Amino acid sequence: MRTQPSKALETFPNPRPERDFQIHMQIPEFTCLCPKTGQPDFATLTLDYIPDQLCVELKSLKLYIWSFRDEGAFHEAVTNRILDDLVAATQPRFMRLTARFYVRGGIFTNIVAEHRAPAWQPLPRVDLLNSFDRDSNTRD
């Protein structure tokens, strides 16, 4: 059975909608084409989100990402388009997409796009130190 790229993003119900929890994904094989030269552009995408009622299904996300392989797109435009499509599919409380494009002509490009649901307020961050960190922070 052969799999084909697709723009369809599938979702499934959030198993714990009463809780804020972060989903973190690394997508190291994103490719699209430079709209000026037609040469391939390569990026690692990092997706972080706090779901509300829906989560994105991973196989559909993989096929969605694959669908950009033969499309020409500026880095800024494709990053924002992917974020917009993911937000439309999942309606998350928070979502951040970071696109780290590999060097071309001596320039690295990093694009960070975010979405926040209007009524959502993040809980304060909790940083826990392990005993080694506490001990090392008190030494002279």
Specify burial of residue 54 (Cβ count, 10 A radius: 0-12, 13-18, 19+). Answer: middle
Structural contact between residues 69 and 39, judged by C-beta atoms closer than 8 angstroms = no
Q: Where are the beta strands (DSSP E) in the chain?
A: 11-13, 23-33, 40-50, 54-56, 94-104, 107-116
Write phi, then psi, for 89 (nearest 5 degrees).
-75, -35
3-state secondary structure of 79: helix
Q: Which two tokens stand for residue 127?
A: 């940083």
Residue of 34, 48, 52, 85 marked active site: 34
Catalytic, 55? Answer: no
Structural contact between residues 27 and 45, judged by C-beta atoms closer than 8 angstroms = yes
Please give the single-letter amino acid code of residue 82: I
What is the set of active-site residues? Answer: 34, 41
